[in-house]
Copies of this chain bind each other. A is one copy, B any other.
Amino acid sequence: MELGLLFLGTSAAVPTPARGLPGLAVIHRGRAILLDAGEGTQAALTRYGLSPLRVEALLVTHLHGDHLFGVPGLLQSMAMAGRRGLLVAAGPPGLRRFLEEAAIATRWLPPYPVEVHELVPGEVLVLPSGWRVEAYPACHTVPGLVYRLVEPPRKPRVDLEAARRLGVSGPLLGRLQRGEPVVTADGRLVRPEEVVRPRPRAVIVYTGDTAPCGSVVEAARGATVLIHDATFTSDMEEEAHEQGHSTAADAARAAGEAGAGLLVLTHFSARYRDPGPLLREARRIFPRVVAAEDGLRVVVRL
**Which residues of chain A have a CB within 8 Å of any CB of chain B?**
13-17, 20-21, 39-40, 42-43, 46-47, 63-66, 68-70, 72-73, 76-77, 80, 94-95, 97-98, 101-102, 104-108, 142
- CB–CB B107/A101 < 8 A: no
A108 partner residues in chain B, CB cutoff 8 A: 64-65
A77 partner residues in chain B, CB cutoff 8 A: 14
Q: Residue of B at shortest CB range from A71?
A: B69
Q: Copy number of this protein in the oligomer?
A: 2
- CB–CB A42/B65 < 8 A: no
- CB–CB A43/B15 < 8 A: yes
| Interface core residue of A17, A63, A73, A94 (most chain B CB under 10 Å) | A73
A73 partner residues in chain B, CB cutoff 8 A: 21, 39, 65-66, 69
Q: Please list 20 pairs of residues, one from A and one from B, whose beta carbons are closer than 8 Å in the complex, sorted by A's number.
A: A13-B76, A14-B80, A17-B46, A20-B43, A39-B40, A39-B42, A39-B69, A40-B40, A63-B105, A63-B107, A64-B106, A65-B72, A65-B102, A65-B106, A69-B69, A69-B72, A94-B105, A97-B104, A97-B105, A107-B142
A142 partner residues in chain B, CB cutoff 8 A: 106-107
A65 partner residues in chain B, CB cutoff 8 A: 72-73, 76, 102, 106, 108
A46 partner residues in chain B, CB cutoff 8 A: 15-17
- CB–CB B107/A97 < 8 A: no
Q: Residue of B at shortest CB range from A67?
A: B106
In order of increasing CB-CB distance, the 4 nearest A-B pairs are A101-B101, A98-B105, A39-B73, A15-B43
A97 partner residues in chain B, CB cutoff 8 A: 101, 104-105
Besides A13-B76, A17-B47, 8 more A-B contacts (Cβ < 8 Å) are A15-B46, A16-B46, A21-B73, A39-B43, A65-B72, A65-B106, A98-B105, A101-B101
